[in-house]
Amino acid sequence: MNTFFSDTDLTREKAEELVSETLKNCDDGELFFEHCKSESFVLDDNKIKNTSYDSSIGYGLRGVTGDVISYSHSNEISKKSLTEASKNLLASLRNKNGIIDNSSSRSNVKMYGDINPIEAKPFNEKISILKDVDEYLRKKDSCIKQVTASISGEYQEVEIIKSNNQNFQDIRPLVRFNVSVMVEKNGRKETGSYGTGGRMNYDEYIASHNWKKICDEAYRQAMVNLESKPAPAGEMKVVLGPGWPGILLHEAIGHGLEGDFNRKKTSAFHNLMNEKVASEHVTVVDDGTIANRRGSLTIDDEGTPSSRTVLIENGILKNYMQDRMNARLMKTKSTGNGRRESFECMPMPRMTNTFMLNGKHTQEEMIKSVDKGIFAVSFGGGQVDITNGKFVFSCTEAYEINNGKIGSPIKGATLIGNGPDILTKVSMVGNDMQLDPGIGTCGKNGQWVPVGVGQPSILVDEITVGGTQL
C-alpha cells in the first residue's frame, strides 16, 4: 500500500525513523494513516434531496506512557508536518518514562475483500435504483404518501506503523441502503423503515430482488403501525424478537463491558469479574471476525487482529473488551477492540458485533407462557447511563400478548429498566439467533463507528413498560 507515500516528500523509512524516536520512552503508541472516501444519495418523493462526496486523508501520531496519552494529528502528510508532530509529543512526554511494548500479533485472515464500492457503479445507476424504489412502492398501495430512499458507501484505507518498524494495512469497504415509507389512511399517518448494509459491494444489497425485500419490509411496518393501538403500561413480561432488538443488549450491557469504564471503575460491572451477572441461560460475545459484517474488522485501529471474545458465559462475567492501553493497565491482553472514528481521534475500547448466543427454546414457547405482556419486534432510539446500566428504549414495532397469543399491534411502548438487572430476569432464550441487517452505528465520547448487534428471541420476566393505557 503506497497511498500515503506516493505524493509527498515523506518516505516510509523516514516515518519509521520518526516513530521509533518519538516512542522510545513510551509504553505504547503508533502512527495511524487514513484515507477515506465516502458518498451518499438521498431521494425523497422521487426528487434528489441530497448528494454528497467526501475525501479525507491524514495521520495521527500517539504516544502512551502509563495512562497519559499525547496525540497529534494533521491532514498534511509531509516530512515537515510529521517532524513537528514528533517534536510536540517528545516535549509533552519528556518527563515520562516507559518501556515500549513491541509485542503484536498478525493474522492472514481477511474479513472482507479489497473492493471500492464507490467506483463499482456510476452515479446515474445509483440514482436510477432509488427512483425505481419510489416507483415500486407507490404502485403497491395508494395510501403510500411519502417515500425516502438512500444509498451510502465508504472506502477506507489505513496503515499503522509501530515503533519496531512493523506495518499493518487494511482496506475497509462499507455500504448501506435504507428505505422509509409514510402511509395515510382515514386521516392517520404512520411510518415504517428498514435498511441493510455491510462490508461488500453495492450489488449485494441493491440487486432488484434484494431492494424489493427492503421496500416490502418498510411498507409492512408502516401498515402494522397504521393498525396499532395505545400501548399498555406497567410491570410485565416482555418477549424480545431476534436480531435488531439486540441493540438493547448493546447499549444497556455492552458499553458497560468496555475496558476503559471498568479500569476507571465507572461501570456497573467493574468489580464483578467471574461473578454471576446474568441468568444461566445468557451467553454474550463480541465478535469482529464475522465475514463482511458491518461491525467486523480484519485489524483494529492499533493493528491488533480482531477476535471473538466471550463476555458473559452461562451468566458468568468472563471478559471485558480491551484496547492495548487499558489491557496493559489491567494486566491482560488486547481483544482487538481498539477503534477510532478517524485519524483525528484516539483509539479506545469499542464494540464490533455484539450478540447473545442461542438457547434451546422456541419463540412460540415464550409467547405461550405469557398471560399478559408485550412482544417487541424492533426498537428505535434509546438512552443509557453506563454507570448504573439504566436504560429507556422506544419500540417501533410491538404487539400485545394476551393469554399466550399475539394480539393487536401497539404504539408508543417504551422499555424502562436496568441492564444488569434485566440480564438476571431472562428466563428463556430462543434458538433463532439473528444478527441485525447491517445498520448499526455506535457513539461514544463523540466518536461514531459502525457496529453489529444481534440476539435470539428472549423472554424477560419483568420489565417496566411505559405506555398510555393503564
The label of the residue with cell 453489529 reads 452
pTM > 0.85: yes or no = yes
Domain boundary among 206, 227, 248: 227
Q: Do 193 and 329 lie in a common domain?
A: no
In a domain, 82, yes or no: no
According to DSSP, residue 436 is labeled -
pLDDT tens readout for residues 342-380: 999 999 999 999 999 999 999 999 999 999 999 999 998
Q: Is the pLDDT of residue 74 over 80?
A: yes
Across 3-143, the runs of DSSP E, i.e. the strands, are 28-44, 47-65, 68-74
Instruction: pLDDT band for 337, please (50, 70, 90 cuts).
Output: very high
Instruction: pLDDT band for 282, please (50, 70, 90 cuts).
Output: very high
Q: Do 305 and 386 lie in a common domain?
A: yes
Contact 153, 118 (CB under 8 A): yes
Q: How many domains does the chain have?
A: 2
pLDDT at residue 155, rounded to an integer: 98
DSSP string covering 212-248, please? HHHHHHHHHHHHHHHT-EEPB-EEEEEEEPSSTTHHH
In a domain, 26, yes or no: no
Instruction: pLDDT band for 382, please (50, 70, 90 cuts).
Output: confident
Contact 29, 22 (CB under 8 A): yes
pLDDT at residue 1, rounded to an integer: 66
In a domain, 12, yes or no: no
Nearest to 451 by CA among 295, 246, 347, 309: 295
pLDDT tens readout for residues 291-328: 999 999 999 999 999 999 999 999 999 999 999 999 99
In a domain, 86, yes or no: no
Q: Do 293 and 186 lie in a common domain?
A: no
Q: Do 343 and 450 lie in a common domain?
A: yes
pLDDT tens readout for residues 418-434: 888 999 999 999 999 99
pLDDT tens readout for residues 254-275: 999 999 999 999 998 999 999 9
Residues spanned by the domain of 200: 117-155+173-227
In a domain, 190, yes or no: yes
Q: Is the pLDDT of residue 148 over 60?
A: yes
Q: Do 300 and 323 lie in a common domain?
A: yes
Q: Do 286 and 404 lie in a common domain?
A: yes
Residues 11-36 have a mean pLDDT of 96
Percent of the chain residues topping a pLDDT of 70: 99
In a domain, 20, yes or no: no
Q: Do 283 and 217 lie in a common domain?
A: no
Q: Do 406 and 258 lie in a common domain?
A: yes
Q: Do 258 and 122 lie in a common domain?
A: no
Q: Do 300 and 273 lie in a common domain?
A: yes
- 249, containing H or E segment: helix 246-249
Q: Do 215 and 239 lie in a common domain?
A: no
Instruction: pLDDT band for 94, please (50, 70, 90 cuts).
Output: confident
In a domain, 45, yes or no: no
Percent of the chain residues topping a pLDDT of 90: 85
- Residues 6+ away with beta carbon under 8 Å from 243: 434, 435, 436, 437, 454, 455
Domain boundary among 227, 261, 291: 227
According to DSSP, the residues that pair with 417 across neighbouring strands are 391
Which CATH number does the domain housing residue 189 bear?
A: 3.30.160.100
Instruction: pLDDT band for 101, please (50, 70, 90 cuts).
Output: confident
